[in-house]
């Protein structure tokens, strides 16, 4: 699983004057000599990944459904293990015992005003050879929906987000005691039943709207890549953002056989109301039977019906029951021991389980991971000796909610806290530009890697293609100016929705999340049609972007594993923190303005004047204007961070030439330990308010977005959710962490300066 971004890539003319980073420059963290050697190994590595292998691997791993607990899931894990071993890596399978519900009963029918029974079934297609593996396919359902049997009037709630319910309030419509029907996307799907339950709904349907991933965008499968009228998006609805991901019965600890387990009733992350995903074929009769006010313009989709909100007269019966079984997940772990710094670890992962056949999600990127591992095996045979220890992980149980990776991280938390320097994640790959997300201390590093990878289509570097695409899409002259002048392209802050979550958010391990994409539309996400036939007709059909991904991530792994000094860089981090501070001040000011304006309009009678008695609406209520908050501690801490970051950068440049001098091994070790510690300093063991599992103070999934990141989540969500005193407390806490980070970077700079000569 990962966020399914559907944006259109705009191709631009190549500007020959645009500068590309010189690839003969000394690599950060290396001396000129070791940099040269490193570049030679990297070039050898990049010649290895082969599209023909990627294709064969995809064919093998996606040949049958391979969800958690299925025979082919285990079979794939064993096959991956055998490949790691064949390539000379020290590999094993580590298992955990996790709660994984599968469907027992699924009923959806309309009782009034007309009778209709939903199909809840994706048909096999003659042209698509794996779509008929019915006996092995998981039926369409949302995992971790609570069991329930409810009958109630239906209400259409748009995407089912908090702001949609504010609109419903204005329309005078309550969902209390109703079953809601929400569209997929715009948030983590588990947010929809969560918000519905908070507003008193007793059941939730989620449907795939053709405007979002169906015929409105392109032809439907099998003529095109989009979702057909029977296509359904399976998926987890676990409320992980408000509690924790991983096995719901063993939060915070590895789900080993002897782990203490909660009872099902005590598990916090299971939904409060029953949920079922449906196709637009099943949704259309239900939506067509709604009356009540017309849905606001922006809520309406492209089905040939008037979109009313309800409630009713459509009355539906929803029944959902699961088998609440404990299943085994099989994480495949391969190690390459480091030579001179074996206790500094680089970890690289991608999941291998899928909802059904999962050619795109996750096999497209799992295949790249395996090509990387094969490549590293070949380099080892040619005499390459990584300085640090490298771990390759093929996670199981990602789809239900990051089960394999979370349990592994929780089980190994102590050693990971001490040793893990960086985690690199992928989860699916398509054609297009490089999407880079991660910790901003790695922003400069990953920009450097992107400057060394060739784009398979334009033949420019993937960095340059991304820069030019961003210029084409930029919304303002300021944005374009920054894209042309800033040395590095900004990377996205990470929310959640894939396996990096426990590494970054729980332990504070610096993280990267990478993928190519943006050129092709797709509407097969989590359906039986995400398979080899679809991928080889509508995505990276010749696997050249699969090769580019293996080259990108493999180069990153090599460069991180071999550097004398871990290539963290803090000037971009400080720049990002400055930006967040400005953003938060603006968020509060905008909120104050908005409430002031609304209060004024209430006094003026704007809502009375605009009331159409035939389409009645309810005026909002007056609200207190948010108080001012003291951002000074955060601003001061951000300034201190900027200073120490610049100091560190200067020190590193000065010492670059002597980095590989013998005699300073112990000093380098101390320096690297400080660098490993740098992301941990941005965490607080007490965790975010009401969700102690999440300890990172700069990045976290939003409680009401799930996938989408909330940067500086304690402060931001405090403001958004109107807990102003809490937000002020969080500003102080974040400031303290930033001060500790500056102090550490300052120590690292001094450590560098004391290196001989
Ligand atoms: Zn995935």
pLDDT computed for residue 23 by the predictor:
43
Alpha-carbon distance of 309 to 616, in angstroms, equals 14
pLDDT computed for residue 16 by the predictor:
33
| 192: its two tokens | 């929809």
pLDDT digits (tens, 9 = 90+) for 494-503: 999 999 999 9
Count CA atoms closer than 13 A to 55's CA, side-chain side.
12
Burial class of residue 630 (count of CB atoms within 10 Å of its CB; 0-12, 13-18, 19+): exposed
Query: What's the alpha-carbon Rg for the chain, to the nearest Å?
Result: 26
Alpha-carbon distance of 419 to 166, in angstroms, equals 47
pLDDT digits (tens, 9 = 90+) for 457-477: 999 999 999 999 999 999 999
Name the pairing type of β-strands 341-351 and 388-395.
Answer: parallel
Residue 510 CA, ligand 1 centroid: distance in Å: 20
DSSP for 726-737, please give it: HHHHHHHHHHHH
Residue 360 CA, ligand 1 centroid: distance in Å: 8
Residue 327 CA, ligand 1 centroid: distance in Å: 19
φ, ψ (nearest 5 deg) of residue 326:
-90, 125
Residue 712: Cβ within 10 Å count: 26
| 681: its two tokens | 């300093």
Residue 364 CA, ligand 1 centroid: distance in Å: 10
Residue 335 CA, ligand 1 centroid: distance in Å: 23
pLDDT category at 754 given cuts 50, 70, 90 is: confident
Residue 402 CA, ligand 1 centroid: distance in Å: 9
Residue 523 CA, ligand 1 centroid: distance in Å: 15
Residue 533 CA, ligand 1 centroid: distance in Å: 18
Mean pLDDT over residues 190-202, rounded?
98
pTM of this structure: 0.96
pLDDT digits (tens, 9 = 90+) for 282-315: 999 999 999 999 999 999 999 999 999 999 999 9
pLDDT digits (tens, 9 = 90+) for 406-443: 999 999 999 999 999 999 999 999 999 999 999 999 99
Give the contacts of 302 (CB within 8 A, at least 6 positions apart): 209, 210, 211, 214, 215, 216
Evaluate if residue 352 carries a pLDDT over 90: yes
User: What spatial distance separates the first Cα and last Cα of the chain, rounded to whole Å?
Assistant: 50
pLDDT computed for residue 662 by the predictor:
60
Residue 62 CA, ligand 1 centroid: distance in Å: 13
Residue 361 CA, ligand 1 centroid: distance in Å: 5
Residue 362 CA, ligand 1 centroid: distance in Å: 5
pLDDT computed for residue 72 by the predictor:
98
Residue 75 CA, ligand 1 centroid: distance in Å: 18
Residues 700 and 715 sit within 8 Å (Cβ to Cβ) = no
Evaluate if residue 24 carries a pLDDT over 60: no
* Mean of all residue pLDDT scores within the chain: 95
pLDDT digits (tens, 9 = 90+) for 204-235: 999 999 999 999 999 999 999 999 999 999 99
Residue 636 CA, ligand 1 centroid: distance in Å: 40
pLDDT digits (tens, 9 = 90+) for 330-344: 999 999 999 999 999
Residue 559 CA, ligand 1 centroid: distance in Å: 26
pLDDT digits (tens, 9 = 90+) for 112-140: 999 999 999 999 999 999 999 999 999 99
Residue 7: Cβ within 10 Å count: 11
Residue 369 CA, ligand 1 centroid: distance in Å: 13
pLDDT category at 657 given cuts 50, 70, 90 is: confident
């Amino acid at each position: 699983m990962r966020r399914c971004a559907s944006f259109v890539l705009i191709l631009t003319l190549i500007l020959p004057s645009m500068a590309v980073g010189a690839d003969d420059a000394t690599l950060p963290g290396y001396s000129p000599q070791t940099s040269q050697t490193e570049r030679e190994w990297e070039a050898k590595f990049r010649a290895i990944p082969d599209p023909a292998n990627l294709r064969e691997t995809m064919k093998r791993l996606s040949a049958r459904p391979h969800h958690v607990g299925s025979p082919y899931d285990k079979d794939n894990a064993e096959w991956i293990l055998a490949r790691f071993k064949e390539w000379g890596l020290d590999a094993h399978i580590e298992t955990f015992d996790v709660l994984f519900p599968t469907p027992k009963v699924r009923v959806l029918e309309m009782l009034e005003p007309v009778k209709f029974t939903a199909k809840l079934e994706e048909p096999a297609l003659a042209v698509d050879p794996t779509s008929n593996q019915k006996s092995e396919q998981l039926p369409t359902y949302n995992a971790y929906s609570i069991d329930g049997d409810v009958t109630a009037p239906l209400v259409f709630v748009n995407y089912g987000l908090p702001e949609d319910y504010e609109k419903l309030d204005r329309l005078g419509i309550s969902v209390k005691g109703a079953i809601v029907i929400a569209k997929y996307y715009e948030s983590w799907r588990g947010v929809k039943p969560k918000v519905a339950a908070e507003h008193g709904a007793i059941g939730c349907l989620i449907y795939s709207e053709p405007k979002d991933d169906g015929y409105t965008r392109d032809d439907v499968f099998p003529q095109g890549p989009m979702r057909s009228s029977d296509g359904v998006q399976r998926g987890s609805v676990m409320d992980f953002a408000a509690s924790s991901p991983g096995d719901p019965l063993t939060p915070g600890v590895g789900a080993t056989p002897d782990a203490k387990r909660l009872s099902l009733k005590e598990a916090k992350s299971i939904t409060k109301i029953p949920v079922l995903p449906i196709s637009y074929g099943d949704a259309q009769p239900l939506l067509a039977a709604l009356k009540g006010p017309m849905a606001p313009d922006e809520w309406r989709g492209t089905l040939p019906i008037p979109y009313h909100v309800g409630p009713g007269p459509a009355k539906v019966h929803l029944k959902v029951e699961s088998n609440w079984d404990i299943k085994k997940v099989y994480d495949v772990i391969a190690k390459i021991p480091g030579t001179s710094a074996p206790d500094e670890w680089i970890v690289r992962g991608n999941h291998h389980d899928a909802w059904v056949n999962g050619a795109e999600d996750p096999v497209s990127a799992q295949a790249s991971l395996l090509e990387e591992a094969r490549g590293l095996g070949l380099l080892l045979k040619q005499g390459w000796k990584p300085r640090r220890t490298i771990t390759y992980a093929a996670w199981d149980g990602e789809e239900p909610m990051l089960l394999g990776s979370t349990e592994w991280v929780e089980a190994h938390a102590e050693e990971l806290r001490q040793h893990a320097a960086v985690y690199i994640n992928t989860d699916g790959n398509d054609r297009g530009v490089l999407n880079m997300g991660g910790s901003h201390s790695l922003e400069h590093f990953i920009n450097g890697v992107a400057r060394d990878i060739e784009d398979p289509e334009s033949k420019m570097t993937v960095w340059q293609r991304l820069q030019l695409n961003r210029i084409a899409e930029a919304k303002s002259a300021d944005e374009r100016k920054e894209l042309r002048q800033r040395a590095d392209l900004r990377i996205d802050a990470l929310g959640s929705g894939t396996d990096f979550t426990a590494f970054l958010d729980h332990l504070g391990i610096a993280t990267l999340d990478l993928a190519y994409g943006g050129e092709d539309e797709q509407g097969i996400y989590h359906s039986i049609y995400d398979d080899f036939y679809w991928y080889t007709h509508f995505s990276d059909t010749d696997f050249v972007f699969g090769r580019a991904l293996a080259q990108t991530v493999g180069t990153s792994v090599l460069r991180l594993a071999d550097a004398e000094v871990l290539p963290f860089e803090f000037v971009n981090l400080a720049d990002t923190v400055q930006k967040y501070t400005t953003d938060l001040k603006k968020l509060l000011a905008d909120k104050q303005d908005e409430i002031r304006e609304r209060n004024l309009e209430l006094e003026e009678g704007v809502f009375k004047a605009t009331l159409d008695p035939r389409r009645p609406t309810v005026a909002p209520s007056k609200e207190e204007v948010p108080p001012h908050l003291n951002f000074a501690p955060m601003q001061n801490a951000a300034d201190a961070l900027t200073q120490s970051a610049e100091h560190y950068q200067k020190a590193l440049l000065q010492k670059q030439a002597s980095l590989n001098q013998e005699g300073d091994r112990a000093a380098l070790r101390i320096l690297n330990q400080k660098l490993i510690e740098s992301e941990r300093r941005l965490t607080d063991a007490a965790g975010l308010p009401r969700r102690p599992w999440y300890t990172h103070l700069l990045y976290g999934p939003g409680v009401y977005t799930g996938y989408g990141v909330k940067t500086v989540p304690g402060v931001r969500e405090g403001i958004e959710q109107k807990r102003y005193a809490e937000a002020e407390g969080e500003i102080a806490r974040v400031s303290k962490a930033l001060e500790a980070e500056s102090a550490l970077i300052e120590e690292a700079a001094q450590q560098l300066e004391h290196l001989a000569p």
